[in-house]
Amino acid sequence: MGVVLQSLADRGLWGNSGGVYLMILSVFVLGFLAWHHREDKPYPGFQLIGKERGEWSYEKARERWNNNAFELLRDGFEKVLSPFGPLVMLPPSLCDEVRNDKRLTFTGFIDRNWLEGGLWLTTTRQQWLTRYSGLSVLQDGLKWEIIQEALRKNLNQELVHLTERVCNETSLILSEELPSSAEWQQVRFFPVANQLAARLSTKILLGDRLCRDKEWIQVGISFTGVVLRAGRALRAWPVLLRPLVHRFVPTMNYLRGQIKRAREIMEPELAVLRQGRALGEKGVESLSWIDDVRRGREFDIVAGQLFLTFAAIHTTSSVVTAMLYDLLAYPEYFTLLRQEIVRVLTEDGGWSKNSLYKLKLMDSCMKESQRLHILGPRNAPPS
């Protein structure tokens, strides 16, 4: 840099504007160094996949992951460059060994890659996407201890009543989505599974009125996809430009509109529940449970419910869809599963607290289906 400045001075170009040139050059150099420092560094001792020789940043490697993750992972459980930086892919045989490691939690992953890390010159190496309105809804959702406490204290106690209610609601949903007919009909089951997951989770979390509110159900089903698309669209922009461009990214604006509409739908229901609680009524919805356990702690209940929706609907519907297709491939299990259900309900005289625990074959079939259909990387990126 000293040689450059001396050359400018010798040519008479430094003058009064020299300080401006120096400031611009310094800001550029500092900005480049800060950006380079915040990039995740590869873990030593692992083969690097995704980044090619001569590439000084991870941008092209991230693009390869977004467009061809399956092919990259098929090369082996090695380290890959994803949109989140270097990741170490472990084989399933190590699941039991690492599952209780606090450094490897789902919320920790979301926190690291979505939550705000502060100023862009800090060394937290977070993506900070939730500093922007719309994606900021995930911040309150990740106050996981409040949600966990609410579900742990109340869900098990209400399990018997909830099981019967969910069973009745399932019959209603199936009669609407798969009406009886004397003729064969073609059905795409995944949309039906989405309806099942969205309406049943809403019945448990928000109550009867909202679980049959078609607009709320549509918001719930589409919310996960909108969040992931918005995150992907924002990641396409350099970090320094995100504070400006996030207001103009179409998917970000659509996400903000979805959240606004969710509040308009949910807040009147929340007011009704709180009014009932003031009159001594005991709520059986998670809105009431969260109110019970937060004890003055700041918590956006609407954001928390949207986060539960984000986490629950599509994973549940994917599991149900995969299991149904497995049963179609092995139809002999229909009879065996039906016999087990009839036997358990006969023994317990209907649904009881222990009925679900007695469905051993059902549990085994679900686990085997999940083993065969891992909810993992596809050609579409995770964000």
pLDDT of residue 239: 76
- Cα 349 to Cα 343, 352, 357, 360: the distances in Å are 10, 8, 15, 18
Q: What's this model's pTM, rounded to 2 decimal places?
A: 0.67
From first CA to last CA, the distance across the chain in angstroms is 41
Dihedrals φ, ψ of 115, to 5°?
-75, 155
Range scoring the smallest mean pLDDT among 13-27, 89-103, 106-120, 220-234: 106-120
Burial class (CB in 10 A: 0-12, 13-18, 19+), 373: middle
pLDDT of residue 85: 61
Instruction: Report the distance separating Cα 195 and Cα 203, nearest Å.
Output: 12
How do the domains of the chain map onto residue ranges? 45-102, 139-179+201-372
pLDDT of residue 187: 86
Q: Which two tokens stand for residue 254?
A: 């659509």
> What is the CB-side half-sphere exposure of residue 95 using CA atoms within 13 A?
4
Range scoring the smallest mean pLDDT among 49-53, 137-141, 210-214: 49-53
Q: Inform me whether the pLDDT recorded for 77 exceeds 60.
A: no
The residues near 345 (Cβ < 8 Å, ≥ 6 apart) are: 351, 355
Cβ count within 10 A of residue 67: 12
Q: Inform me whether the pLDDT recorded for 342 exceeds 90.
A: yes
pLDDT of residue 16: 52
pLDDT of residue 225: 86
CA dihedral sign, ordered 305, 106, 110, 297: positive
Q: Is 156 helix (H, G, I), strand (E, B) or coil?
A: coil
pLDDT of residue 354: 82
Distance of CA 15 to the CA centre of its chain: 56
What is the percent of the chain where pLDDT is above 90?
14
139-179+201-372: in CATH 1.10.630.10: yes
Instruction: Report the distance separating Cα 123 and Cα 100, nearest Å.
Output: 27
Q: pLDDT band at residue 383, thresholds of 50, 70 and 90?
A: very low
- Paired residues of 80 in beta bridges: 49, 87
Instruction: Report the distance separating Cα 221 and Cα 100, nearest Å.
Output: 30
Q: Inform me whether the pLDDT recorded for 340 exceeds 90.
A: yes
Cβ count within 10 A of residue 101: 9
Cβ count within 10 A of residue 282: 8
Closest CA to 112 of 76, 87, 81: 87
Mean pLDDT: which of 207-211, 364-368, 373-377 is highest?
A: 364-368
What is the percent of the chain where pLDDT is above 70?
65
- Secondary structure element (H or E) that encloses residue 188, with its range: none
Hunting for tokens 């709180």 — which residue is that? 274
DSSP 14: -
pLDDT, average across residues 264-272:
84
pLDDT, average across residues 229-240:
83
Instruction: Report the distance separating Cα 121 and Cα 123, nearest Å.
Output: 7
Q: Which two tokens stand for residue 375?
A: 């909810």
Q: Inform me whether the pLDDT recorded for 363 exceeds 90.
A: yes
Q: Inform me whether the pLDDT recorded for 108 exceeds 50.
A: yes
- Report angle CA 337, 358, 148 to the nearest 5 degrees: 110
Greatest distance between any 2 Cα atoms in the chain:
98
Instruction: Report the distance separating Cα 377 and Cα 369, nearest Å.
Output: 17
3-state helix, strand, coil in the chain (%, to 5): 65, 5, 30
Q: Inform me whether the pLDDT recorded for 234 exceeds 80.
A: yes
Closest CA to 82 of 57, 58, 112, 104: 58
Q: Which two tokens stand for residue 44?
A: 């030593």
